[in-house]
Amino acid sequence: MSASPVVPHHIAIVMDGNGRWAKRRFLPRLAGHKQGVDSLRRCVRACAERGVGVLTVFAFSSENWNRPADEVSGLMELLALALGREVPQLKKDGVRLHFVGERDSLSPKVRDGLGQAEAATADNTRLVLNVCFNYGGRWDIAQAAASLAARGEPITEASLHSAMGLAHVPDPDLVIRTGGEMRISNFLLWQSAYSEFFFSDRLWPDFDESALDEAIDAFSRRERRFGKTSEQILSAHPDPMPG
């Protein structure tokens, strides 16, 4: 009888491929983003059911402002609609929302929506859902350093980590990127230093429960050494069932 796969506590996902999904169907790019919201809803539910404690997703990067203006405005409208529609169910399902990213450049309406969603789910404990919105890994490191400097605090690995946008959760165990690309695109540069990576050819709207299970299974078969040798890992965690 095979052992159950080891479920990562924190999964992070670059949700890539919405535009290509729409293009293949001769649909506007925004239709792919709408389908991507449905995929995220399934993924949140699946992570909660499998015992994942933290899910972090890359929803809108600081570089995405360079996309066509109609796509950017459509994404902002989609975010507002999704918040109004999804937050009540997330609250009911025990999901706590955090939005990570630079908010000053967002409209007051969007900023208020993010804050209200966080407040509405603040008491939930089943799953933490971090939505990286107007986020970049380099921005995160720079803002953390600037914050420490403004307070006159020394800049060390520990202090930088505590000033990061994801200081409220452990670093991701597994980083997934969909869409067939094999790069991290300025996502969690600091936090993913020792993460396992899984690249899926599926476009994000097609990423379902079976795809998530495939990534978790691949993760569970890897040896995480954190700079140590295999022998050190084995001696620290001997197999309780020899044979």
Catalytic residues: 16, 64
CA distance 243 to 237: 15
CA distance 94 to 102: 26
Report how far apart, in Å, the C-alpha atoms of 45 and of each of 26, 53, 101, 225 are: 29, 12, 24, 30
What is the maximum alpha-carbon separation in the chain? Answer: 62
The answer to whether 190 touches 141, Cβ cutoff 8 Å, is yes
